[in-house]
Amino acid sequence: MLEEKKNKKRGSQAGFTLLEVLIAIALLAAIAGLLVSNLDRILGGGREEVARLFVEETLETPLTAYRVNMGRYPSTEDGLEALLKKPSDEAVNWRGPYVKKLNPDPWGTPYQYRYPGEHNESGFDLWSLGPDGVESEDDIGNWTVSTSEND
């Protein structure tokens, strides 16, 4: 009999109170709010890495193939479009298209190209204008040293 009373007491005390449930919901909402407010910062670093990889690796091979076939890199005037469309001059040596498509950078801006380069005087400059979309200190170019090379 005494044991039955103890079991009834335990049964009525088992589970969470309304206050405990509300506190748990409030904590989860606060954590979700922090994640959502910092989502751009969390994912933004990925955009910069995508732009860096594209600038440093993805277009280097097609530009080198163009140079092998044409004897030079595309001019600044021809730009990266020369990898897609046959330039009007020296068309005999062109073996393209060297790329299927020229995608914009992760912020929707076209990649920039210059030959001869100002930063790479013996080669070309290729860069993304970065998150602000204008030429500035945050540009991601083939002349910048990536952080992985510094480690």
- Which of 15-24, 61-70, 129-138 comes out lowest in average pLDDT? 129-138
Residue 13 confidence (pLDDT): 61
Whole-model pTM? Answer: 0.60
Q: Under the phi-then-psi rule, with left for phi > 0, alpha for psi from -120 to 50, and beta for the rest, what region is 4? A: alpha
> Residue ranges per domain, the chain?
45-150
Q: What CA–CA distance (Å, rounded) separates 61 from 76?
A: 18
The whole-angstrom distance between residue 51's C-alpha and the CA centroid of its chain comes to 5
Q: What is the pLDDT of residues 55-105, one digit of tens each?
A: 777 788 888 888 988 888 888 888 889 888 887 766 677 887 888 888 888
The dihedral of CA 115, 118, 111, 123: what is its sign?
positive
Residue 146's pLDDT is: 45
Q: Residue holding tokens 């930063």?
A: 119
Q: Give pLDDT, residue 42.
A: 57
User: pLDDT tens digits, residue range 109-122?
Assistant: 888 899 988 887 77
Q: What is the pLDDT of residue 9?
A: 56
Q: Are 100 and 83 in contact (CB under 8 A)?
A: no
- Most confident segment among 20-29, 47-56, 81-90, 136-145: 20-29
Instruction: List the structure tokens of 11.
Output: 């049964």
Q: Kindly give, in sequence order, each residue whose CB lies less than 8 Å from that of residue 97, ignoring residues fewer than 6 positions away.
A: 83, 84, 85
At 7 the pLDDT is 57
pLDDT score for 148: 42
Determine the Cα–Cα distance for residues 76 and 113; give it in Å rounded to an integer. Answer: 6
Which CATH number is 45-150 given? 3.30.700.10
For residue 123, the SS3 value is: coil
